[in-house]
Structure 1
């Protein structure tokens, strides 16, 4: 369950882990040093975020789990940025595709990203040459015009590929 995203990110959302347990997170705290402690004082803000979509969450229901460092392409106060894709044209190493800034969809869309980098490296590196050219893979397919972020784009693109594989007689869009 995802709340409406804001400029800071996708917000605290609900996912189920492999054991079927509900997990809420992440929240964002900018830091200048690597710290992995969970600050219990952040629980108040966590409850408030979750209660925006689950008002009946009882006090004391949450337990802190873990903290991690999430590298960001854009810093505090900067407009949000999504993926930066760099191919040999940017870094000079043939066969290497760097994928930077893949936050939320990193694991969810990893197969789609692998497919895109394998099948369309020239289009990807051309259409996403820098951090300001990240509104969606417009060179790939017009279905992505106006997409909110790459998360939506990649999932949508993967779905289009599956549909076209299953129904090859569909006319080209």
Structure 2
């Protein structure tokens, strides 16, 4: 848990930055989508074709007629949305790699190092059952469900 907190502190406490080229792609797609949606509403279908057209003046109105504050807000929103989409994926990957893979499964001090193949092969059936077996409630539920399946199959044969 300490390493998880460490990774979270880095992610939340540091200056947002990335070197991943998907950030620019995502940001450009966000900006394009913001322009595309209103233009699609203004598009005119060409009869007998799948083509649509938008007047050039409409494109200009959608890109030039914004107030500075509107443009800045849209840029900030698009940038933050793009960054945090990427950062979220990166954080999950790093968390899985460091905390789960290294500290829990594969690291030198991993609790699962105790369960080497040699150790597990040396356990008898009762020991294996106590370590990795089903709990009593699950066993009972499985038995009830198996009995229900047999009864339903028998009922189907009667029908």
TM (normalized to structure 2)? 0.20
- Please tell me whether Structure 1 or Structure 2 has the larger radius of gyration of its CA atoms: 2
> Whose helix fraction is larger, Structure 1's or Structure 2's?
2
Q: Which has the higher contact order (CA 8 A, sep 6+)?
A: 2
